[in-house]
Chain A
Amino acid sequence: MDAVQIIDVVKHYGNVLALDHVNLSVKEGEFFGLLGPNGAGKTTLIRILTGLTAPTSGRTLILGYDVLNEPVKAKKQFGLVPEISNVYDDLTAWDNLMFMAKLYGIPEREREERAMKLLEALGLRERVDSPVKQFSKGMRRRLAIAAALIHEPRILFLDEPTSGLDTQSSRFIREVLRELNRKGMTIFLTTHFIEEADQLCKRVAILDKGKICVVDTPENLKASLQEKEALEVIFNSPTSIDEEEFKKHCSGIVRLSENKFRFYVSDSSSILPLLVDFAKNKGLKILSVNTLKPILEDVFIKYTGIDPLMAERMEQLRYKR
């Protein structure tokens, strides 16, 4: 059975079209990633799936239950970790979990056992009686995950789960998610960290301007770009490049920083002499040249047509290769 089914979902906010006839399904036990730039509609889609927003048209099913017509049954099947960790600041970690467990109708003894296990697994055992307002951002996110897992859902939705967290917290959360998926839980996450999706997800969808551009495994998506090599060149000082000069030998140029460029080429050896001439004519030195295999980011750029400035910002955000 499909864990998540999105059938022809359209969402308008006034005159703005946020989702445009989205169709998608996620199998049980799958680790699924929804990628897209800011404003692509990822959060809107997750809000529709979790019953926080109604679609303008279309249907969403959670393990066969229609989110609009059978909301209570559908909501019992999933846990939600939103981008903002919405736990109660004035309650302790323990009281937050107890409150959520009561709302899900978990018997008293069981709720205490589960809460203790979750706090242990998420590294919060020591802070069980501390008010959440004393927690760091990473701890709050871990508590939000614990609160989403207290009723042992079959599906876990996460909206940008590692956004704004330090490397250590992000790594810890990724490991927790991998472990949950290994145990059979369906994970549906949205992220703009492409490398995160590449590392974690069995399948990814790229959403842009409210439309699903492509859905496949990260490997297949990268393989679809195999005809493209990329050549990353760093000059010793800032420069600009006229795409016309290189038009014959490369299919695209992305400016990654003031002196760093990526050339998408069919044959890297053909463009090298041109680059050497270019540097000579401009009085520049080539500091490094790297040939790169396609990564998921290249697929992302291909489908979203993201501008070079955005690529530069993403380059700063993502891990170094």
Chain B
Amino acid sequence: MKMEELYEMLQKSSIIALNDIKLYYFKPPSIFFGIMLPLILYFAFTLGRPCVTEAYRLTGVVAVSVFFGASTLEAVVLPMERRTRTFERLVSAPLSLEALLIGKMASGAIFGIALGFVMATILILVGPAWQWTGFSAGLSLSPIPFILTIIISAINSSSLGLLLSVRAGDVADAMMPLNFLRFVMIFLSGVFIPLEETYMFNPSLAPLAYLLPLTYSVDALRQTTFGPIDLWKLLIDLVILIVFSIVLIFTAIELVKHSMR
């Protein structure tokens, strides 16, 4: 692909993403599944599991905010656009399917990134003052790797949302499999509970965690907020997330192409 074509593709993707931001960020399903649900989960684990450490609460809630926020938007946008046929308007416009779906993915990722940063800021800055978090003592934030981790995790989560929503004709059709997968991932990826504890009674199931991208997001987030950073481990986490994202996006593109045949 020539540079000019790449520039045009990214330009059109950004137009699609900006339109989605304008139209869908404040839709009720985006707010409920993207903002309320991670908060509910946070409080469930804080009140119901007092043994969970503050470090896990912080990284858990940031990971879940990014994960839910980024994956929710596609499950709202794509079925709504299919129902109103505005998705067809975009398909008949002069842009590649790749540019269109990358634009859709980007709007979800930006939603997840924004939520992740808002949650992290609240918990890091305001939390200690309210004394419902106590990580100021153990916090060892590495800003650039932390920002990079949030961005890559959001892209990965949005790609998952894209794949599961790309053929859905209704928001519920997309949300059902997505929520199933999201809850399974939250419980199996060591989000609020360390992996060793999660698989304490059945260690043979532990490899399952490494098949789920959220495990790598959580690990990278934990390294970049509480340290210590193991550079190779962090790099592997991020590379695996990028590979997952590429596979998910290309599978979504193929699914759309297949539906057009």
Contact = CB atoms under 8 A, between A and B. Distances in A.
B260 A91 contact: no
A102 interface: yes
A53 interface: yes
Interface in A51-83: 51-54, 56, 71-73, 75-76, 80, 82
Contacts of B89: 80, 86-87, 100, 147
A52 B92 contact: yes
A90 interface: yes
A88 interface: yes
**Chain A facing B: main interface SS:** loop
Contacts of A51: 91-92
B95 interface: yes
A80 B92 contact: yes
A99 interface: yes
Interface in B46-87: 84-86
Given A54-B261, A84-B85, A86-B85, A104 B92 contact: no
Contact of A103 (B85, B88, B94): B94
A50 interface: yes
A54 B91 CA distance: 12
A210 B41 CA distance: 54
B86 A86 contact: yes
A315 interface: no
A74 to B, nearest CB: 8
B23 interface: yes
A99 B96 contact: no
A137 B84 CA distance: 14
B251 interface: no
B23 A88 contact: yes
Nearest to B24: A90
B86 A100 contact: no
Given A72-B95, A75-B93, A104-B93, A88 B86 contact: yes
Interface in B1-49: 8, 11-12, 15-16, 19, 22-23
B92 A91 contact: no
A52 B260 CA distance: 7
A105 B86 CA distance: 19
B19 A99 contact: yes
A222 B23 CA distance: 51
Contacts of B15: 99, 102-103
Interface of B: 8, 11-12, 15-16, 19, 22-23, 84-86, 88-96, 257, 260-261
28 contacts: A50-B92, A52-B260, A53-B260, A53-B261, A72-B94, A72-B95, A72-B96, A73-B94, A75-B93, A75-B94, A80-B89, A84-B85, A86-B85, A86-B88, A87-B86, A87-B89, A88-B23, A90-B23, A91-B22, A100-B89, A100-B93, A102-B15, A103-B15, A103-B93, A103-B94, A104-B94, A105-B8, A105-B11
Given A56-B261, A91-B22, A103-B90, 20 more contacts: A50-B92, A51-B91, A54-B257, A54-B261, A71-B94, A72-B96, A73-B94, A75-B92, A75-B94, A76-B94, A84-B85, A86-B86, A86-B88, A86-B89, A88-B19, A100-B93, A103-B12, A103-B94, A104-B93, A104-B94
